[in-house]
A and B are shown apart, each in its own frame.
Chain A
Amino acid sequence: MNIKQQQSQMLSAIFSLEPLQENSAHNLSDVSAAGLSIYQHSLLANASRALAITFATVHSFIGKSDFSQLVKEYLQKHLKTQFDWGELGDNFPHFIKQQSRPNSEVLAAIAALDFACHHTERAENVEKDLTTLSLLNDVGAYQLKLNFAAGFKVIKLDYPADLIITDITNSHKSTKADKGSTHSTLNDIAEQLTDYQKGQYYLLVWRPNFQAQYQQITQQEYQWLALWQSATMTESIEHPSSVQPLSIGGALDKTNQEEFSIIAWLPQAIQQQLIHSISLLTPS
């Protein structure tokens, strides 16, 4: 067996998260079972710690023990292909959704919002220059573009995760006031999640400074912001000269202006620090 095969076998044995004797397929009888167990515990502990940061709300709602069990099952099904622990978990919400536990779809919506917030908080910083707002008075809308706060994104969820988080957090606060403890489990939370209606909910996530914020938005705002999100993503991936940039005028042309009013939206977006600056389009 060459080194490449040896390393593959050892890694597979660790990710099985099962004791050595049950790993006959891994052909590692010549290593210490206790040693392998240390690496397995380390993997689970590190993954639980990393995912507890990324999915902070889910972790706080279901408690450390159930969260670790969920992480163990997740790692057994989804190998870690990222070198950065901060990037682990992109399909954790989908994994939660597929669990046969009651209300796992609702918990998955909370996880999806957690993941969006986590990514927003790690996004590249964006310079803020509100003096550029004056360009709106001086330059035509087809020559201007909006520059959004770091990591801004819009997501579509099956459940109103923002309202659910507020409700459960408030309920935990009252429990703590009454009983002095907020300890809860996956089953406790599953019971609390039964009252929410499945539907289509649109959320905006952005980062005015360092902490991500989120709020529910209308379908019309979602469509308007999705245009900008798509343009921002394309610009960051493609070479600027190969991209047809999105202007304010161009975005408005693609939006149903009977349902969306930029006049009403813009002052609010500026106040919320969703927009960090306005700039002239670079001619393509």
Chain B
Amino acid sequence: MFSLNKKAPNSLPLIGVGLRHTHFEDAINSPANIDFIEVHAENFFAKGGVSHAVLTDISQHYKISLHATSLGLGSALPAPQKQLEQLSNLIARYQPILVSDHACFSWAESQGLDVHAGDLLPVPFNDESLNIMVSNVKRAQAQLGRQILVENLSAYIELPGSTYSEAEFLVKLCQQSGCKLLVDLNNLIVNAINQPLVTLMAKQSDSSAHNNVLALAKQWLENIPSSLVGEIHLAGCTQVDAQQLMIDDHSQPVSDDVWSLYHFALEKFGPVATLIEWDEDLPSWATLIAEADKARAIAKHVFTNSYLTTDEESTSDKTPEEGEIREY
């Protein structure tokens, strides 16, 4: 059944791009029509030097979002205080509009040492890991003096012991810690594609597989209340053959599946700040900005036109207030 959604928020989402070293000069010399820049916090953990000089310049042109990749919020071994202090100093220095990290573990003990994986490692979705992550998120928010966003992972291993779905787990995390979610739509697609292999089942090769991927991703989003979503990440990655795990390498333009899912997500969540991530095989600055323009065009289409939706339920959990622009 089709329904005409006449609800149109009076603002569009903030649209930004992830900034990597290659584009520093372009970002300063060719200011783009974007609302914010997102940088990896750890790239600016040095006390001084050229990286801060560049980010200071960039912060004159754009709002900054700090995306951390190292806290390991799901680690049973908590992050050292020094690490939180460094992130806190960075926040004080650049006053970012958003601060985020991931629903993963990174710290663990090995050979009697506190070791950092340098990666985003998956956790099982159960009460034990929920309690750990809630405690770590609360500690981080107390140290940083602000709410953080926690991003869903692309995971290549499924650790045994889950009693919740990922979406259920993340909703509980938000409810118990007061954080919000950074929903990475490409991670949802990657996980949906990889699920049969990660769960050690035979990978589906029939024609329904593709439809199932989008359906799985949409189902995931359906389980997230709009009020809990603070940012959306969009990315593309290298395609792989059947029987191979897809790796979320952020090396390609945003895929058609992700654009389709973005349209769906905006309809459901409202005008949520949106970021284009591109980390490998970086394109020109103009190409990167064109991806942001594409996101803005979709948002305009969703929020400034009356549009037809095939799924009336998709906006059913949204209150009038939630449809308005969020402030960050």
Chain A contacts to B: CB under 8 angstroms: 2-4, 6-8, 10-12, 14-15, 30-32, 34-36, 38-39, 42-43, 46-47, 79-86, 121-125, 150-151, 207, 210-211
Q: Are A79 and B108 in contact (CB under 8 A)?
A: no
Check B109 against A4 for contact (C-beta < 8 Å): yes
Q: Please encode chain B, from 98 to 130, with 1 for each CB lying within 8 Å of some chain A CB and 0 for all others.
A: 000000011111110111111101011000110
Helix, strand, loop or mixed for chain A's interface?
helix
A32 to B109, CA, bound (A): 22
- Give 19 new A-B contacts, CB below 8 A, not counting A11-B108, A32-B245, A79-B111: A3-B123, A4-B76, A4-B109, A7-B76, A10-B157, A11-B110, A35-B156, A39-B117, A39-B119, A47-B118, A81-B114, A83-B79, A83-B106, A84-B45, A86-B45, A121-B46, A123-B46, A124-B47, A211-B50
The yes or no answer to B49 lying at the interface (CB within 8 A) is: yes
B200 within 8 A of A: yes
Partner of A85, one of B52, B118, B247: B118
- Tell me if B109 and A125 are in contact (CB < 8 A): no
B108 contacts A210, C-beta separation under 8 Å: no
Which of chain B's residues have a CB closer than 8 A to the CB of A6? Answer: 124, 159, 161
Say whether B157 contacts A210, CB under 8 Å.
no
Is B48's beta carbon under 8 Å from chain A? Answer: yes
Assuming the contacts A35-B245, A121-B50, asked whether A81 and B113 have C-beta atoms less than 8 A apart, the reply is: yes
Instruction: Tell me, in angstroms, the Cα distance from A86 to B106 when the chains sit together.
Output: 16
Q: Give A35 to B195 CA distance when docked, in angstroms.
A: 11
**Interchain residue pairs A-B with the least CB separation, the first 5:** A122-B46, A35-B156, A4-B76, A35-B157, A125-B48
Q: Establish whether residues A38 and B77, one from each chain, have CB atoms under 8 Å apart when the complex forms.
A: no
Q: Does any Cβ of A come within 8 Å of B257's Cβ? A: no
C-alpha spacing A12/B112, complex, angstroms: 11
A8 and B160 contact, Cβ closer than 8 Å, known pairs A3-B132, A34-B245: no
Q: Are B50 and A43 in contact (CB under 8 A)?
A: no
Do B76 and A11 touch (CB < 8 A)? no
Residues of A contacting B244 in the complex (Cβ-Cβ under 8 angstroms): 34
- Give the most central of B76, B108, B118, B156: most A CB within 10 Å: B118
Cβ B48 vs Cβ A32 within 8 A? no
Q: Mark B222-246, 1 if CB is under 8 A from A, else 0.
A: 0000000000000000000000110
Bound-complex Cα distance A47 to B118 (A): 8
Question: B53 at the A/B interface (Cβ < 8 Å)?
Answer: yes
Known: A79-B115, A83-B116. A4 touches B50 (CB 8 A): no
B213 at the interface (CB under 8 A from A): no
Confirm or deny: B198 has a beta carbon within 8 angstroms of a beta carbon on chain A: yes
Q: Which residues of A contact B47 (CB under 8 A)?
A: 122-125
The answer to whether A11 touches B115, judged by C-beta atoms less than 8 angstroms apart, is: yes
Q: B151-173 CB contact bits vs A (8 Å, 1 = yes)?
A: 00001111111000000000000
Q: Is B121's CB under 8 angstroms from A7's CB?
A: yes
- Asked if B186 CB lies within 8 Å of chain A CBs, one says no
**Complex contacts, A81 vs chain B, CB 8 Å:** 113-116
Contacts of B79 in A (CB 8 A): 83
Closest to A78 in B: B113
> Are B48's CB and A122's CB within 8 A?
yes
Q: Which residues of A contact B113 (CB under 8 A)?
A: 79, 81
> Residues of B contacting A35 with CB < 8 Å?
155-158, 197-198, 245
Compute how far the CA of A83 lies from the CA of B118 in the bound complex, rounded to whole angstroms.
7
Contact A11:B121 (CB < 8 A) given known A122-B47, A123-B49:
yes
CB-CB nearest in chain B for A210: B50
The distance in angstroms between the C-alpha atoms of A6 and B76, with both chains bound, is 10
Q: Report the bound CA distance from A12 to B75 in whole Å.
A: 14
Q: What is the CB-to-nearest-CB distance from A227 to chain B, in angstroms, rounded to a whole number?
A: 23
Please name all residues of chain B whose beta carbon is closer than 8 Å to the beta carbon of A46 when the two chains form the complex: 118-119
Known A-B contacts A3-B128, A36-B157; the reply to A8 vs B110 at CB < 8 A is yes
* Complex: A145 Cα to B106 Cα, angstroms: 44
Q: Pick the contact of B198 from A2, A32, A85, A124 — CB < 8 Å?
A: A32
Question: Do residues B245 and A210 form an inter-chain contact, with CB atoms below 8 A?
Answer: no
Contact partner, A8, options B108, B128, B158, Cβ 8 Å: B108
